[in-house]
Structures are given as structure tokens and as C-alpha cells.
A = this chain, B = another copy of it.
Amino acid sequence: MTSLPPCSVSAERGCSAGELAAWFGGDLSGDPERRGFGLAPLARAGERDIVFVANERHLAALGDSRAGIVLMGQDMMGPDASDLSRRSYVRVDNPHACFARLSTLLGTRRRFEPAIEPGAVIHPEAEVHPTARVCSGAWVGAGSRVGPDVYVGPGVFIGERVEIGGQGYLYPGCRILDEVRLGSEVILYPGAVVGGDGFGFAQDQGEWVKVEQLGTVIVGDRVEIGANSTVDRGALDDTVIGDGVKIDNLVHIAHNVTIGAHTAIAGCVGVAGSARIGSHCAIGGGAGILGHLEIADHVTILAMTLVTRSIREPGRYASGVPHQGARDWNRSLAALRRLGRREG
């Protein structure tokens, strides 16, 4: 579906059930001319809204919904005929992905008009594309380039010699430090920090001596970095975030980490220095990944797992411990300690 034909769907025009079916290669039941202008959850949807039903469990709730157009799976039980008088159905292979595509076309949250607002601080040696918007309180340093259709929110900081690719959206208060390069269609959420110094020190007679971090961060296309997440610049070489990588909130990526394309990292994960994570991986929330190791492509790490050595094979890996009642858990712990002593 990645290569869908272009379409003219927008929040103003909306789209008809027939257009949707054609666009997604789906099957239509009901009036092809019925139009939807927005997306909504089942319970809140009105007759100008499109809903999607991801699985059979939600079909019951559909009965009470006023939604005008329903996106659903090919394999799901169909509507009864009486329903078709008030809404149209489009059955597709991957309703969630279709809904996702639609959501961007119909959404209006990240629209803006080009402008340099008063109160924006732009260095005379920075280049801002005329189709970009730079809001009040944003700062763009010397030698930096802000590409076409980029939104730079209030309080965003862009250091020196930074490159921001086209169609980027920099939410208020994210910070991009010197020499960082962002690809196109990158979204940084509020408080994200890209290019802070890596945690690099040399030991010298019991004190830590700072090692200047000479690398930077290279971020691919269509990457998202969540609110208050941090990606450190490399010590000598660069930290590299591949195309299509999605990073949730409060994630820490240390210096010289590389993350392969289309890997997703859930909230509160920490990745230590020089770890190399493959493509198409999924890292569960709260996981920790030690430094200087490699994780193959297509690896799934479950929540709160500690990855301590390289993972060479695709598959699912875990070390998170499910909760028990506190008393039961204490018994398990005591038994484990005894076992360790006995067998040690």
C-alpha cells in the first residue's frame, strides 16, 4: 500500500465512500456518494465522519454509532442490509493502515502558514526556506538551513550548522544542537533534545575529565522522536537514526548508537553507547540495552528487558518479571536466593 496513487482527499473536500474503495483497492457496500470529512471514534462519530473497525469485538458498538462511512477488514462479518441505508462500508486488507493514511490527509493539527514571526531569532547566516514557519521565541543559529514546509515552533532551539530537511515539524521547545542533520518529514515532539553531549569522560586519579564530543547526530527521513526524549551526539563518529525510526517519549539514546530503518522504540527505553540496533526491530517500554553490542534485524525486545549481549537471531527476547502479590513475590525471591547459595 506504500505506493498508493495520489488522491485529492483533504479536510475541506473530504472523500466519498467510492473514492476510498478505489483508492485502497477495497470493496464497497452502500452509497458510493456518501462523503466523510473527518475521523472519529465510534461513540462520537457523526454522519459526516469515517470510523474504522479493527476487529469483530467492536462490531457491536457500531450499531449505535452514527458514523457515515466504515472502514473494516475484508474478513469481518458484513453489515445487514438495513444498515446500508444510513452508511457505507469499505472493506480493505489493512483497515488500520488505511485509517492511518486517511488520518494524515484529513487531519489539520500540523497545518500552518509560512512566516517568520516577530520574536524569532534567526542568524543572518542561517537559511530559512520561504515556505517554512519560524515562530516567536524560536532560534536558528549560524550556518543552519531550514528546509521547505518546515514548522519551527515557539521556543525551538536550532544550533549552528544544523540541517532540517523538508516537511519537518519541530514542536515547541525541542532542541537541536550544532551540526545535527535531520532528514525530511521528521517530527520532534516538545522537549526532545537531539545532539546533546554524549556521556564521555576519562578517569584520571579518581576524577572524571570531560571528553569533548566531536561527532553529531544524523537522523533519517520520516523519523519521529517523542516528547522529552534525548539523542546524544557521537564522541568521535556520529550517532545515526535510520529512516522511518519511531521513538516514543522519555527515551535515551546514547552517543554513537546506530538504529536501523523502521525500528520502533517505546517509552522510557535507554540505549547505551555504541549499541547497534538493527532494522525493523521493536523495543518494548522501559527496556535497557547495554553498550557496544549488536542486535539483528527483526528482533523484538519485550518490556523492561535488559539486553546484556549481542542478539544475532530475529525473534522475541525478554527478561521482564511479571508482578505477583508482594508476599508471593518475596517467597519467590527468598527461594531464588537459597537456590543460588545451594548451587553456587
A interface, CB within 8 angstroms of B: 1-2, 39-41, 43-44, 94, 96-97, 99-101, 103-104, 106-107, 109, 119, 121, 135-137, 139, 153-155, 157, 171-173, 175, 177-178, 187, 189-191, 193, 196-197, 199, 201-212, 214-215, 224, 226-230, 232, 236-237, 244, 246, 248-250, 252, 254, 262, 264, 266-268, 270, 272, 280, 285-286, 288, 290, 301-309, 311, 315-344
Contact = CB atoms under 8 A, between A and B. Distances in A.
A262 B332 contact: no
Contact of A100 (B187, B210, B266, B317): B210
A109 B200 CA distance: 15
Given A40-B214, A230-B267, A267-B272, 11 more contacts: A2-B204, A94-B203, A100-B211, A103-B210, A155-B157, A157-B172, A157-B190, A190-B196, A319-B324, A335-B342, A338-B343
A20 to B, nearest CB: 16
Contacts of A175: 171-173, 190-191, 227
A153 B57 CA distance: 46
Count this chain's copies in the assembly. Answer: 3
A309 B326 contact: no
Nearest to A101: B209
Given A254-B267, A266-B199, A331-B343, A301 B315 contact: no
A96 B187 CA distance: 37
B343 A323 contact: no
Contacts of A315: 325-326
A251 to B, nearest CB: 8
5 contacts: A2-B205, A189-B196, A199-B267, A206-B262, A306-B321
A96 B306 contact: no
Contacts of A341: 328, 331
B306 A201 contact: no
Contacts of A101: 209
A72 to B, nearest CB: 14
A144 to B, nearest CB: 13
